[in-house]
Amino acid sequence: MDYSKPITVDFPLKGEWTAPHTPGDKVPSHGTDALGQRFAYDFFRTEMNLKRKFKFYKTTNLKYNIIGISINDCYCYKENIYSPVNGTVIVVKDGVKEPKHLHPVIDLVKVLIRSFSVSVKALFVPVSKINLHKYIGNYVIIEFDELYAFFAHISTGTICVQTGQILKKGDRIGLVGHTGNSTAPHLHFHLMDSSDLLTARGVPCAFTKYDILTEEGWKLIENDIPKSDQRIRLI
């Protein structure tokens, strides 16, 4: 496989989104190659003010930073996730519960503790024996063209596909959530060359088409990789 050439798939969401973590800015996009996420995306639904600062929740910054907010105040919570490929569902992991309250400091501490816990456990037991489900959250893997599409942090109990199910592009998979190592509701998405997360290599991914917001209005982009400072849209 030529890992320098991105595989083009459909965009897995509808509406307006931003990608604060994207291979359009840096590789590895999440600072690691582990779990096949070298070219991974994180997608948030946000509002945008005149200073092009993206905010993913409906309440004030003061409330979010002081007392926290409800998960229902997040714009992308329980938005539909769609299959970007024609393929077969080969892994479905559900059952991890999501917190109903968000606070930037508390959520960051939780992520750091989970990450540290996994690192420590890996020193004493084989990684294959560590329960990554709690770390990743609820997730789905779809096989297509000898590749694998991975969707993580899905909302508890909303996955609407099952193992062995054949999907077409645009079929609904589940709803955006806040499970596992997540600081806020979002969709984590990437392609990889194996269904085994412990050995998978990330595969570069571009999207067939989407719009970006420019000073002149929305502009159609085809077969490209979004950047973090872009507001992107698929109708």
- pTM, two decimals, is 0.92
C-alpha 24/C-alpha 12 separation (Å) is 17
| Stretch 14-23: mean pLDDT | 95
CB-neighbour burial class of residue 4 (10 A; exposed 0-12, middle 13-18, buried 19+)? exposed
Q: Is there a contact between 188 and 40 (Cβ–Cβ < 8 Å)?
A: yes
Could you tell me the end-to-end alpha-carbon distance of the chain, in angstroms, rounded to an integer?
A: 32
Interval 219-230: pLDDT, tens: 999 999 999 999
Interval 147-198: pLDDT, tens: 999 999 999 999 999 999 999 999 999 999 999 999 999 999 999 999 999 8
Output the average pLDDT for the chain. Answer: 91
Q: Decide yes or no: CATH 2.70.70.10 for domain 7-234.
A: yes
Of 123 and 77, which is predicted with more confidence?
A: 77
| Stretch 205-214: mean pLDDT | 96
The residue extents of the domains of the chain are: 7-234
C-alpha 88/C-alpha 25 separation (Å) is 30
Interval 108-125: pLDDT, tens: 888 787 776 766 555 566
Of 12 and 48, which is predicted with more confidence?
A: 12
Query: What pLDDT sits at residue 119?
Result: 64
| Stretch 56-83: mean pLDDT | 95
